[in-house]
Each structure stands twice: as structure tokens, then as C-alpha cells.
Amino acid sequence: MKISMSSPDLNEADRQAVINVINTPILSMGQHTADFEKAFCEYTGAKYAISVNSGTAGLHLCVRAAGIGAGDLVITTPFSFVASTNALLFENAIPIFVDIDPRTGNINPELVAEAAKNIEKYLPRKGAEKHGDLKALLPVDVFGQPADMDALNQIAQERGLTVIEDSCEALGATYKGKQAGTLGNYGIFAFYPNKQITTGEGGVIITNNERDANFMRALRNQGRAPGDTWLQHTHLGYNYRIDEMSAALGASQMTRLDEILSKREQVAAWYEARLAEIPGVEIPFIATSTTRMSWFVYVIRFNPKINRDAIAKKLEARGIPVRPYFLPIHLQPYIVEKFGYQAGDFPVTEDLGKRGLAVPFSGVMTEAQVDYVCQIIREETRGQ
Ligand SMILES: *Cc1c(COP(=O)(O)O)cnc(C)c1O
């Protein structure tokens, strides 16, 4: 049985949407980009949506819009895809890592509060000799489960901090009934082919702030402000524009987002029923505040006595692709070089990083495929 790590959920209408665009001369900055953005405003209830060509670009524009610059401090999580931290480094801001909740893998609000109160104690060993003030929080909705945003927003409010919600893994998730991405000042979604919906490459920022929305629209388009001609550039900008083929694909995918999410929910339920019975395997924990999980990846954890990497090798050898999730950001080589982090600095993050394994997951998996994967996991963990 052929099993892939992930797979986009595309239908004939999605393919036709892309072909229709290629048959026109307008391949950038056209109606499809506007339609794609409108779909996000309608789905999330946000006032403004700004599409870009990656989630990383979206994060970067939020950092710029928040006025985060050289030496500024931003509290964020070391248990994430690197882009959430990199967006800060692009502006020479200093990420202040705090550890995570061991159940959800999301940033621990109690530690955020403690760090906000006593930031000097949370500075990295090096690379922060000259630093500015604490400016923002950058939580991540890890694996499609919203961070504890009420607690984080309260801290932000008390201290006048901006909140950038990295919802790149959580389109469609809800927190206490509210849409992921709408919970901070800015929310970012991403559409690489392993995400819930895909545009090939792409991202969307949502916000209710009109001035920031206009600024980010200008920045994504080489810094052209409203009224600028093609060769006038009010701001230092970027080419972060999404193209029309991608936007049309995204708009088509958005029309069946709920169907796409339901299919992923079903696959997760198939996994849960089978994996919950395997000794030594822990299934994902869903917090009560998560009123809807938007399954991005399906990450299991092994009992500490089981050697995750040895099992991963055996699964790969039997044709089951798997991936350790996440390798902690603070231990990535360039971060160690810049800030001097060491193993042991964030023990919960490191523990989950050692025990977590993403198994094949997508909305197009069949029950037979899930069955097959779980059977092999059962066999390879037996006697461990
Ligand atoms: C996917 C993802 C991003 C953005 O990824 P791109 O590949 O740039 O679209 C950002 N943050 C997190 C947590 C992600 O999972």
C-alpha cells in the first residue's frame, strides 16, 4: 500500500479554476486575489484580509506593521516551525523563548506572564547585550490547536503588547467558539501543500486594523502606497504578492473548507480509535478551550522508554513515512550560534521534540490506509 506523509485535497473544480486563469492575460493582482481575500473576511469575520505568497511573508509583514525593530523583544515559543521566530530575526528583533504546556504543545501563559514581569531573566545568554523593550507576543496555534489566547491577551493588555497569532497550522480551528487567527491583533494563515487548504505557496494575514492593513498591502507590493505609480515607492517594501493562479486555487478550496476540515477530522478519528489502544503510544490532547480542532498534522508521542528514532527508522523501512515534530527552534544551529542556547534550556519543548512523531496524514487518506499504518505501528512498538 502506497502511503504519503501528506497530500493536498484537490478536486476537478480546483484544477479548472487554475486552468481558467492561465487562459487569461491577468496572472497577478487581479480579481482572484480580491476574491480569495474576501473569502477570508467572510469565513473569519475579520475586517481585512491581505494575501501574500507565503505564511512566512505574512508573519514578516505583521512584524513590520507592529513596528517591531532592531533589539525589540518578543515573547514566542521554541516549539514551532522556524518561520515564527525567523520573521522576528528578519527585523533584528530578539525572540524571548518560554517553554510550553506539555499537553497541548502551545506556549505556556504562566511562563509568558513571568517572563513579561521579569524579562532580564529570560534573555538569551548572548545576542541581547543591547536590547529594547518588550513589544509583542507571538504565540503559535500548534498542530491546529489554538494557543490559550484569553490568558495571553490579558497579559498583552496589561503591558500594552501587540499580539501576532501564528495560525498557519490552524485555519478553521476555534477557541471558545472564536476563529483562530482572529484572537490577536493580526492572524496569519499559510497554504503550503501540507496545510489544510493549499495554493501551492501562499498565505493570508487577517486584521481589523485598517491602517495596518493598508500598510501591509503596500509592503507586499514593493512599498507602493495608495496613489503611488508603478515606479513610486513610499516604503521599503517586498514582492510578497500572491499570483492569480494560486489565488484562484485558494478561492476554490475555500468554497469547500468545511468539507475539507471534516474529512481531516474523520481521518484523525480513525487514528485515535486505533492508536489509543497501542501501549506506549499517546494520542493528541485537545484542550477544553479548543471548540474545534483543525487537524494539520497527526503527531503521536511515544512513552519515554521507547526510542522514537529507532521506531521511525523501522516505520520508514516498511514504507510508512514519518517525521519528528518539532525539532526545537532554540537548538537549530543558527539560533545556537546567535543566542547561545543549550540543550536543557526548555525541557518541555525538548521532551516533546524527542517523543513526538507525525504519522502520514491528509484528508484524502482512506480508512484502510489508516488501518495499515496503525497495524505497522502496533507491530513495531510491540515489546518495546
Ligand atoms: C507553515 C507554517 C508557517 C508558514 O509557512 P510557509 O511555508 O512560509 O507558508 C509559519 N508558521 C508555522 C507554525 C507553520 O506551520
Instruction: Give the closest residue (by CA) to ligand 1 atom 4.
Output: 55
Ligand 1 atom nearest the C-alpha of 80 is: 13
Measured between alpha carbons, how far is 114 from 234 in angstroms, rounded to an integer?
Answer: 40
Q: How many helices (H) and strands (E) does the chain have?
A: 13, 14
Regarding the beta carbon of 189 and ligand 1, being less than 6 Å apart is answered: no
Cα–Cα distance list, 189 to 19, 196, 205, 235 (Å): 24, 10, 6, 24
Regarding the beta carbon of 54 and ligand 1, being less than 6 Å apart is answered: yes
- At 383 the pLDDT is 78
Regarding the beta carbon of 242 and ligand 1, being less than 6 Å apart is answered: no
Ligand 1 atom nearest the C-alpha of 142 is: 13
Instruction: Give the closest residue (by CA) to ligand 1 atom 2.
Output: 168
Ligand 1 site-directed mutation target among 52, 165, 192, most atoms within 8 Å of CB: 192
State the distance from the centre of ligand 1 to the C-alpha of 140, rounded, in angstroms: 10
- At 275 the pLDDT is 98
- At 257 the pLDDT is 98
Ligand 1 atom nearest the C-alpha of 140 is: 13
- At 384 the pLDDT is 78
In the chain the domains, ranked by start, together with CATH numbers, are 12-254 (3.40.640.10), 257-381 (3.90.1150.10)
Regarding the beta carbon of 83 and ligand 1, being less than 6 Å apart is answered: yes
- At 108 the pLDDT is 98
Q: Taking the complete model, does pTM exceed 0.85, yes or no?
A: yes
Regarding the beta carbon of 202 and ligand 1, being less than 6 Å apart is answered: no
Residues of the chain scoring pLDDT < 70: none
Q: Which of 76, 55, 7 shows the shortest CA–CA distance to 242?
A: 55
Instruction: Give the closest residue (by CA) to ligand 1 atom 5.
Output: 55
198 contacts 253 by C-beta, under 8 angstroms = yes
Regarding the beta carbon of 138 and ligand 1, being less than 6 Å apart is answered: no
SS3 319: coil
Question: Within the chain, where are the H helices?
Answer: 12-22, 31-44, 55-65, 83-89, 109-117, 149-159, 210-220, 244-255, 257-275, 308-317, 333-339, 347-355, 367-381
State the distance from the centre of ligand 1 to the C-alpha of 164, rounded, in angstroms: 14
pLDDT digits (tens, 9 = 90+) for 39-52: 999 999 999 999 99
